Amino acid sequence: MIRNSAAQFQKLKELAENALAQVPDTALFEVLDEESNSIAIILKHLSGNLISRWTDFLTSDGEKPNRNRDSEFRIEPSDTRERLMERWEAGWRALSAAFESLRPEDLEKTVWISGEPYSVLGAIHRHLIHCAYHVGQLVLLAKHHAGSHWQTLSVPRGKSEEYTAARRQRSGSVSP
């Protein structure tokens, strides 16, 4: 369960990074409308969330007192792709370190997030959903900004049967 969850988080990280690689720096800061977040804002928020949730995961509340969540939704002059990606990596390192320390017996322990109790397994599921939600936003915005230069990150349109056949051939399985 722990390894599988870690692998799913890793897939989300790679999906986001493959999408981000297709976007020019200027597009990171563009918003679709006044109620939307830019790619940069989503990166700041998800990074802050990862750092807060996974630092001292088993021993402290996942909403750290030093986290300024509201600042994650503001662009500062110092926000560059490089700085955003440094913080992104710091968040994923915190998650990775937490997962490396987890043992099967930890899954039933209680952790706290914003003063609410969760089983470790529940907190993992909660955060996996949160990450997937924001990675989906990142991919959508990256695809929008990349336009006709977009390289698909999943099964290309019109290629589902080809894709499925190739996967079955690679795995040596036959469907029932």
User: What is the spatial distance between Cα 35 and Cα 134, in angstroms, rounded to a whole number?
Assistant: 15
Can you spell out the DSSP letters for 100-165? Answer: HH--GGGGGSEEEETTEEEEHHHHHHHHHHHHHHHHHHHHHHHHHHHGGG---SSPPTT-HHHHHH
Helix axis angle, 81-101 relative to 39-54, nearest 10°? Answer: 30
Give pLDDT, residue 176: 63
Give pLDDT, residue 137: 98
- Listed by start position, the domains of the chain span 2-171
Give pLDDT, residue 155: 81
Give pLDDT, residue 100: 96
- pLDDT tens digits in sequence order for the chain, 176 residues long: 899 999 999 999 999 999 999 999 999 999 999 999 999 999 999 999 999 999 999 999 999 999 999 999 999 999 999 999 999 999 999 999 999 999 999 998 999 999 999 999 999 999 999 999 999 999 999 999 999 999 999 887 887 888 888 888 888 766 66
Give pLDDT, residue 163: 81
Give pLDDT, residue 169: 84
Give pLDDT, residue 174: 62
Give pLDDT, residue 43: 98
> Class of the 2-171 domain?
mainly alpha
Q: How many residues does the chain have?
A: 176
